[in-house]
Chains A and B, each alone.
Chain A
Amino acid sequence: MMHIQHEAEERHVLTVTVDNEAGILAKIAGLFTARGYNIDSLTVADITDNHAVSRITIVTHGPRSQIDQIHAQLERLVPVHKVVDLTEVGPHVARELALVKVAGVGDKRVEALRIAEVFRARPVDTTTESFIFEMTGAPDKIDSFVALMRDLGLVEVGRTGIVAMARGPQEA
């Protein structure tokens, strides 16, 4: 009899600066599938005026040795300029944006708005029977907010996945 063994896993946040060329996202996402790595979230947008460079934030989990491999494998892609393991670097800010649609009337509607204020979520669309709240924050804060909305008429949730940056004056 044979059983599959599992190793202890860690969660890491990586930022990857890349040439903004065709296929780069497929290359990175494909690297993860081809080598059996996990992607928990991935965000990407260009960060320069001439649209030449993009910054990708990847949240992944896996055994320590695999995280190190992910770092090395990303670094060896030609269009990749830089890979930073923020979890390794130290304190960093990780933020996510969510849009949360809640429909309801009466007490539930009032309660949803009250809780949104506590969470500093902002209504960005309003009808007489619904709100779309926009909120940014750490992912677990968004989790809590969404959980509370579940009883108050939650319709749908859209999340960006996180963007992250090391704390302090220096570039990581």
Chain B
Amino acid sequence: MSEERSGASILVESLVKQGVEFVFGYPGGAVLPIYDALFGDERLRHILVRHEAGAAHAAEGYARSTGKPGIVLVTSGPGATNAITGIADAYMDSIPMVVITGQVPTALIGSDAFQEADTVGISRHCTKHNYLVKDPSELAAVIDEAFQIATTGRPGPVLIDIPKDVQIATAVWSDGPVQRHQRYSPRTEGTSEEIRRAVEMIAAAKAPIFYTGGGIINAGPRATALLREFQAKTGAPVTSTLMGLGAFPADHPDWLGMLGMHGTYEANMAMNQADLIICLGARFDDRVTGRLDAFSPNSEKIHVDIDRASVNKTVQVDLPIIGDCAIVLEQMLVEWSSRKPQDLTAWKSSVEEWRGRKSLAYPANPQAIMPQLAIERLYELTKHKDPVISTEVGQHQMWAAQYFPFFSPNKWLTSGGLGTMGYGLPAAIGAQCGNPDGLVIDIAGDASIQMNIQELGTATQYRLPVKVFILNNEWMGMVRQWQELTYESRYSNSYSDSLPDFVKLAEAYGWKGIRIENEAELDAGIQAMIDHPGPVIVDCLVHKETNCFPMIPSGAAHTDMILYGDSVAGTMDDEAKALV
């Protein structure tokens, strides 16, 4: 069937054809024709956010928790610029997303028209690809390609800017397959020579370690299963980046916990002492490596990544394999066949020795709730519901990563690369849309939660029972911690003054509000949060000056971790201060 349709109608039909369920958006002048086409169309569910940044983060949360692309629809000018932070976030963390932005009519582009911004220009370096569509006849092919680019290879956000006149003008629409020139085909398989070499290196290693990242999650649940299978054959211990948590079960005897700046002692020491690092879908980020010239000095390194630009970017590796983690793991399993690994007893006993340092131990405190304890109790009381956890950015995020164990992929949503405060609440809303019967909890801090607090209204409107669990220490805790460690406790602008009453705020939005003031109330408060069928804010007052340890200070090596009880100078030299 083929007929003349408006650009707006072609867009809607194309989204339906792509299997889109939810569109996270906010209307405005330059997208009115699209909103009119959505009116009364029950095939797409539009979630009206309260700020366009919320739309982008909600789409990320939906995408990360379901494995499907998140869709954003915003107007021109401020609509697009407000969404940029979320788009940049998705770009850094490789989240599949298609962003539709309205644009002023073609004839007005470049004239500084009302609500005009150079959206394609502004988004150029935070999208995987972007388009300005100048004719409705191009729309179907552009949308088809945009979904392919967003979801294959290294996933990422793709933006389509559509001028208002192109939304109104008509073109021939056919519901058959879209005819277009295929130009994007990322490499997904390793060569047999690469696979053979990798397997030989792994089989010969006496101190191997798997260093896994978000690429395993992006490669789908099959990659997670294959990782577990391959690990069982090789016996190598496993650590993961922040983005990769959940790929390997946290109760496995070979699980080392997260590595990096706030990783465990055993994970960082094992990285430092390993003779072989098998990096799967991670990118040697500065938060992971610490001081580069001291990073894992004695190891050979295999790097499996679908993005060739991630290879040798910061750390030079011995064997790069460009490919999809699931496919490469499968190739390695076949090549491994019935080989036996080296005797890893000595290596594992070193690991046990490091584990014996109990780097996540923290002091008990009879006066105040320790934030770590709050996370542990939150886990204990919710684990039977297998919750999806999102976070904001800061100390609470690191505590969640350290003390909330994960066992499967797509349960952990956090802003890793960009580190965007305000991510967690909208991400939880998006995740709840994709998991309507699941328990979705945003672990938040008192400062971060205020960055997209307006999204409380979105959850109310769509009756989304998301839970926000605030670790309230009345500080921008991570900033305060760095000021304590680096600037002799000169707490410049890091105190959360004039905090709202979060319980009353919850109630004002039609949420339930719960305050937990001491340890005796902790379990009951968490239980009341779980039991309430609607959205809940828990304002959990925690010990105010607790720092997040272990920690590799900026400019230090994996072996120079600060653990609880270590005394710190409170100053750093300029080289260390200059690092992020």
Contacts and interface: CB of A to CB of B under 8 A. Distances in A.
Interface in A1-39: 1-2, 19, 22-23, 26-27, 30-31, 34
Interface in A68-84: 68-69, 72-73, 75-79, 81
A19 B183 contact: yes
B307 A76 contact: yes
B125 A31 contact: yes
Contacts of B575: 2
B355 interface: no
B124 interface: yes
Contacts of A19: 183
A34 B316 contact: no
Given A31-B125, A78-B128, 17 more contacts: A2-B574, A2-B578, A19-B183, A23-B124, A23-B130, A26-B124, A27-B124, A30-B124, A65-B312, A65-B316, A68-B312, A69-B309, A72-B311, A75-B309, A76-B309, A79-B183, A81-B183
Contacts of A34: 125
Contacts of B308: 72, 75-76
Contact of B121 (A26, A65, A68, A78): A26
Interface string B420-433: 00000000000000
A78 B183 contact: yes
B125 A23 contact: no
B114 to A, nearest CB: 23
Most chain A CB within 10 A, of B124, B149, B309, B312, is at B309
Nearest to A33: B125
Query: Can you list the 5 inter-chain pairs with the closest CB atoms, starting with the nearest?
Result: A72-B309, A2-B574, A78-B129, A34-B125, A72-B308
Interface residues of A, number: 21
Nearest to B314: A65
Contacts of B149: 78
Interface size on B, as a range, is: 20 to 34
Contacts of B578: 2
Contacts of B130: 23
Nearest to B121: A26
Contacts of A75: 308-309
B143 to A, nearest CB: 15
A77 B127 CA distance: 10
Interface string B302-340: 000001110111001000000000000000000000000
Nearest to B153: A76
A23 B309 contact: no
Interface string B120-157: 11001100111010000000000000000100001000
Contacts of A26: 121, 124
A76 B130 CA distance: 14
Contacts of B39: none
A78 B142 CA distance: 13
Nearest to A52: B181
Interface in B471-508: none
Interface in A57-72: 65, 68-69, 72
A131 to B, nearest CB: 40
Interface in B440-485: none
A65 to B, nearest CB: 6
B191 to A, nearest CB: 17
Nearest to B132: A22
B578 to A, nearest CB: 6
B142 to A, nearest CB: 11
Contacts of B125: 30-31, 34
